[in-house]
Every structure is written in C-alpha cells, then in structure tokens.
Structure 1
Amino acid sequence: MNKHTALVVGGTSGIGLATARRLQRLGADVHVVGRDAAKLAALAESDPELTGHRADGGERAEIAAVVEAVGRPGGIDWLVVALSGSEGPGPIADLDLDVLRRAFDAKFWGHITTVQAALPHLAPTGSITLIGATTARSGIPGTAGIAAINGAVEALVKPLAAELAPVRVNGVSPGLVDTPWWSGLPEEARRAYFAQAAERLPARRIATAEDIAEVVVLAATNANLTGTVIEADGGARLVSLG
C-alpha cells in the first residue's frame, strides 16, 4: 500500500502542527509549510519526521513551488490549509481597516492562493480541509472583522466540494482553543478569560490544538465526508461569550 502524502500549510504551530503530527502517526508522508525560519528550524529539531518548507501561503510562486515538489509523483492526498493570524479583532468603530485588509490577505486570500496552486497536484481521490472559526456564525462583540474573514473562508467549502468533486472539500470551525494565537494577551489575562469562558461553554472546557486536530484529520481522511463544515467549538455558538 502506497504511503499517503499530506501537506499542511500553516503547520509550524497550534492546530496546524498538531494536525501534521497526527497525520504522521497515521503513516503519512507529511510536509509542513511555514513562513517563519525560526519555527521551521525548531520543527526540524522537535519533529524530524516532518518535512518543513519555507513559503508564504499567500504568495503564489512560493506555494506553487512547494506543492509541485511535494505532489510528485502520486499527488497530494490530504491538503490542510491552517493559515491564520492575530489581526482583525476589535470594536468596529475603532477597527483599522488597513489592518483588517492585511488580515484578509493573510487568511482568506492565503487560503484561495494555496488551493489554486495545489489543484494541479492533488491526487484524484484527495481532499482539501480549510480552517475557519466559530466567529463566522457567532454574535461576539468585537469580532466583526474576524467573523467576516472566517465566514468568507467557510463559504468556500460547499461550492468547492461541488466544483472539484471527486476531490473532497471540508472545513473545520474551532471555537476557543489554547494555542499561540492568544500569545498577544498577557498570561494572567488569558487564563482568567479562559476560566470565565469555560464556565459558559456547554463543554465546560477550552479546547486544545490536539482536540481540533483530531477533527481536522477526520475531515481530511474520511472518504464519505465532503461539503461539510464541522463545528468543533465546544458549544460556543450556543451561548453568549461577549
């Protein structure tokens, strides 16, 4: 049986890295794309079984060079786009629109660019899994900007699943996840917010990157799943976290 080839774009930390590790444990040949040379160097030390590539998912030439190399000879079986960024939150009255445009570039346009570049190199029975967030369908004050970004990403799933069949396309929509995305918040403030939010969440806990990676791997590998956005948010969409 031939080994599956997986490409995780935005895979040097958080959900992307947890996904790459889980796919590797399934026996896949896993390639990880990131922009940060220091993170890629750390990855080479901590996870030598993963193959790192330095590229920007939003730069067509850079990502195209990676997917062309990774896709030979049998194609990419599982493409996971885990691009993210910390910019975009804030009250709409004070939101810097240049910052929001930059956030759209990093996540939404990064997803589009990566998918376009990868299409010629996907295996005929391959899959694409996109990562959005529960802000796409929640009413949390101060999240209009990132809600729009994640909503745009998740809106790609159904039309692409129909258009690209038999390649499968799915999305995963996490809620609160304890990852480096929160690193801009002081540790004490982050812990206090997580504790307060966990009391309101139906799951009564904050997710780990590994929790979400388990769902991403399901979306990527299950041969009967397509056109679906899996809400892995601990029930955040059911309650008010504002």
Structure 2
Amino acid sequence: MAGQLQDKTVLVVGRGSGIARAVVEAAVAAGAEVVAAGRELPALEAAYADTGVTARRVDLTDEASIAALAEDLGTVDHVVSTASARARAAVSELTPEQLLLSFHTKVVGPIMLAKHFAPRMPEDGSFVFFSGVAALEPDPGFLAVAATNGSVNTVVRSLAVEIAPIRVNAISPGTIDTGAWDGLGDQKKAEMFARRSAANPARRIGTAQDVAHGVLHALTNTFMTGVSIPVDGGQPLV
C-alpha cells in the first residue's frame, strides 16, 4: 500500500475512532496528506495529536459548514465520508427526526460535499461514500438504515455520471466489529457476532481494517466508478 497515495490530499469525514480512524491510518500509510474532519473538533484534535493528521470541523447537516471547509482547504484529491447517524428502530418507533438526520448525514451531506469540493478537485480525484449491507438484506429494526443505504447506492451512480471524470464510489460494509454494536451489551453483542460468523461465508466478523482496505482500493483504482463495493464477508448470500 505504501506510496499509492503519495503527494495526494485525502479528506476523511468521521470520528477519530473505528472505521474513520482505520481509513485515516491506511491513507497515511499509503503516503497521503490526510485531513480528518467532523463535528467534534476537540475530540478529533485529541485523537490525531502528534500523528501529522490535520483536524478540521465540519457538520454534514449544515451546507454552510461544508462550503466553509471547502473554501478553507482548497484543492483536495479525494474525499471520504464515513459519517452516519444511527436510526435503528422498528417502524412503530421511528420518528421523522431520526429519518431526516440519517438522510442528511449519509445522503444529503455527501451530495453537498460533491457540490462544494468537486469544482476544486483534479480530474483524477474521487469521492468514497458509505452504504451498508442493510440495503440488500432486509432486517426488522433496520428500515431507516436500509432506506438510507439504498439511497447512497443510487447517489454514487448518478454523481459518477454527473461529475465525471471525477470518480464516485461507495463502500458497503457488513457486520464490522466497531463500537457501533456496543449498545447491545457484551452478551448480546457476542451472541450476535457468533451467529453471523457461523452463517456468513467468510466465517468471521469484519474489522475496521477490512473496510479501510476497501476504501483504499476505491481511492486508487482509476477505472472504477459508480459502484458500491461490498466488504461484508458474503453476508447477503445467506
């Protein structure tokens, strides 16, 4: 991976941990100059202190915030958005506010990133957004997640045509061992991971590093655009 992104600037939107952290580390290892951006700037600055990674603030639900970041950074080569707003609930419990926050964070926000960053990017630049296995695998309690992820898959196809030759792709993770599942509690999380490990063809749960490898592939394969890349261990197959 070393040198694949040498002399490139990569903006990674997300938290200072989990998948976003793994993506930042993979991009740095590949030679990129990395800017990490998110809503909680002090937390990002602490997470990336003494790493050489620049921290900036951005709120994907606020177009003015996105425009200001684009103005501040100027030209970047690649933009990766890992941000999400978890809207896991049965349809009987979902609220419009949950749905709208999910869409603003994973769909509207990335479109605004393209609006404000694409005019400043070189022709060989790219965007990588995040979808997810819920778009392909209906599961009770994941309606809002599925709808959001399905929309991301549509967005990357449309944007890839509209802003070509800048490339636009998505990563679609399956069950990944990050803090996203901690709310289940230790026992329920372990039981779910055991069930899914036994069922999926890869016979294990994914890691943040697995996802980061997929992102790096999307950033560096210059003949790939408009696709959602599964990093899911074959989960939708069973």
TM-score, length-normalised on structure 1?
0.90
Aligned residue number for residue 85 of structure 1? 85
C-alpha distance in structure 1 between counterparts of 2:139 and 2:234, whole Å: 14
Aligned residue number for residue 104 of structure 1? 103
- 1:132, 1:172 within 8 Å by CA — same for their partners in 2? yes
- 2:41, 2:56 within 8 Å by CA — same for their partners in 1? no
In structure 1, the residue corresponding to 2:202 is in which secondary structure? coil
Alpha-carbon displacement from aligned partner over 1:182-215 (angstroms, at most 9, x marks no partner): 2322122212211121111111111011100100
Aligned residue number for residue 131 of structure 2? 132
Cα deviation, residue 103, structure 1: 2.1
C-alpha distance in structure 1 between counterparts of 2:101 and 2:162, whole Å: 28
Cα deviation, residue 146, structure 1: 0.7
Aligned residue number for residue 69 of structure 1? 72
Aligned length: 234
What's the Cα RMSD here?
1.7
In structure 2, the residue corresponding to 1:123 is in which secondary structure? coil
Assess, with a 3 A threshold, how the Cα gap between structure 1 residues 57 and 101 changes in structure 2: closer, same or farther. Answer: closer
C-alpha distance in structure 1 between counterparts of 2:210 and 2:63, whole Å: 31
**Paired-residue identity, %:** 37
**Structure in which a larger fraction of residues adopt strand:** 1
Unaligned ranges ≥5, structure 1: none
Assess, with a 3 A threshold, how the Cα gap between structure 1 residues 11 and 168 changes in structure 2: closer, same or farther. Answer: farther
C-alpha distance in structure 1 between counterparts of 2:196 and 2:93, whole Å: 24
Cα deviation, residue 231, structure 1: 1.0
- 2:81, 2:128 within 8 Å by CA — same for their partners in 1? yes
TM-score, length-normalised on structure 2?
0.92
Query: Are 1:207 and 2:206 matched, yes or no?
Result: yes
Aligned residue number for residue 226 of structure 1? 225
C-alpha distance in structure 2 between counterparts of 1:187 and 1:113, whole Å: 37
Aligned residue number for residue 162 of structure 2? 163
Aligned residue number for residue 119 of structure 2? 120
The AA in structure 1 aligned to 2:163 is L
Aligned residue number for residue 24 of structure 2? 20
C-alpha distance in structure 2 between counterparts of 1:36 and 1:80, whole Å: 17
The AA in structure 2 aligned to 1:33 is A
Choose 54-63 or 205-214, whichever is displaced more: 54-63
C-alpha distance in structure 1 between counterparts of 2:76 and 2:103, whole Å: 26
Unaligned ranges ≥5, structure 2: none
